[in-house]
Amino acid sequence: MEKLIGAAVIGQSGGPTAAINATLAGVIRASLSESGRGAITTLYGMRNGIEGLLDGRLIDLSAAFRTPEGGADEEKLALLSQTPAAVLGSCRKKLPDPAKDPAFFENILRIFEEKNIRYFFYIGGNDSMDTVDKLSAYIATTDYALRVVGLPKTIDNDLPGTDHSPGYGSAAKLIATEVQEIVRDCAVYTVPAVTIVEIMGRDAGWLTAAAALPRITGGAAPDFVYLPEAVFSTQAFLADLRAAFEKKPNLVVAVSEGIRTENGTYIGESEQSGSVDVFGHKYLAGAAKTLEHIVKHEFGCKVRSIELSLPQRCGAHCASLTDLTEAAAAGAAGLEAAILGASGCMIAIIRASEEDGYSVSFETADVRKIANKERRVPAEFITERGNNVTDVCLEYILPLVRGEAPVTMRDGIPVHFTFD
């Protein structure tokens, strides 16, 4: 493969995570290494993903992170890595079909030519890989040399072609940690009570499964865990609670926001959740809130619903060291692969055989097999009754939450990196 020298652009796309900036840091570090500098003249960051490329909002990351000696400013990179969300900003733009709207891509090509951009990195999930796929498909129809590489990022862990995705481990660690704290909190009173914790993951239950992790670390886990991959039956759920009440007064249940009935209706969208707000608009109450009302009606006991909400995906203060380390390594692997000629691919994480303990390596995977596809929790990870996850599932997740990422604090509050 011919050596390609020129500028590079990188963007962050889709939902924020605690690890997406660590991947950016990995790419920046690698671009300022000896081999990186041999190919990449300048690394630009796109503000708000592809949107920033289109309207010229680029930031010179090489200049921002280069030391006077020409290497990478490790102190700045460490701050960047511990910063949640997406420091470049994000977007949710879906690119048009290159065959139907070539003008859109011709415009991008002009921008590439103008700045001699030869490398395009995009950190994101399923939708972002669609951007990688379309851009690399279009470029293949031109004689412009550009290498397009996707870097995986999703708290949902639903990207196919990779053992797991950066961002998931940290979200899983926060969920396991906070749900265990909730279980402790709810156990202090003797009055019958049910606490329902709603966890992100509309179609894939990976995040909800993580709530059960303390079960295999000697800690406290929810009594029941319901994933979208198992059909949710309100009757079976109430029967589960009734049986559990025979043994203890305080029950904690973890549910995915995406749990649905046999006919595919989301619990949070079912008629049972139909409320009307002050303006007369019907609104959807969410899975946990809907179940709160059902359980209260059935048992008449104290019921509380909790949505873990945004803190799940931006909990950098509780990030997994394994996750952030892999996130940065995936970024570096992407840059190195691109320099060696890879394009139209996503960096995938390969887990080594468990017999030698947990370790990973990185490969390139064809992005056409990844874009717009989802990897869901397999049947063997869910108990037969569909009301919990199996130990095999937890053994898959556990290595991903190991280790605590160091956090620089100022006066007791985490310090975040910004360009401002």
Active site (catalytic) residues: 156
Nearest distance, CB of residue 225 and a copy of itself, angstroms = 16
Beta carbon nearer to a copy of itself, 302 or 368: 302
Q: Which of residues 9-48 bind a copy of itself (CB under 8 A)?
A: 12, 16, 48
Residue 277 binds a copy of itself (CB under 8 A): yes
Contacting range for a copy of itself; rule: CB under 8 A; set: 316-324, 338-346, 369-377, 384-392: 316-324
| 330 binds a copy of itself, rule: CB under 8 A | no
Q: Is residue 311 involved in binding a copy of itself (CB under 8 A)?
A: yes
Which residues within the stretch 119-178 sit at the binding site for a copy of itself (CB under 8 A)?
A: 173, 176-178
Q: How far is the CB of 185 from a copy of itself (least distance, A)?
A: 4
| Distance of closest approach, residue 44 Cβ to a copy of itself, in angstroms | 18
Bridge-based pairing state of the strands 40-46 and 58-60: antiparallel
State yes or no: residue 199 binds a copy of itself (CB under 8 A). Answer: no
Interface pick for a copy of itself out of 287, 294, 330, 345 (rule CB under 8 A)? 294
| Residues 255-274: x where in contact with a copy of itself by CB under 8 A, - otherwise, as a string | ----------------xxxx
Give the binding range for a copy of itself (CB under 8 A) out of 98-106, 134-142, 240-248, 287-295: 287-295
Q: Which of 281, 353, 356, 357 binds a copy of itself (CB under 8 A)?
A: 281
Q: Which of 152, 166, 268, 315 binds a copy of itself (CB under 8 A)?
A: 315
Using rule CB under 8 A, residue 398 touches a copy of itself: yes
388 binds a copy of itself (CB under 8 A): no
| 410 touching a copy of itself, by CB under 8 A | yes
- By beta-carbon proximity to a copy of itself, the closer residue of 6 and 311 is 311
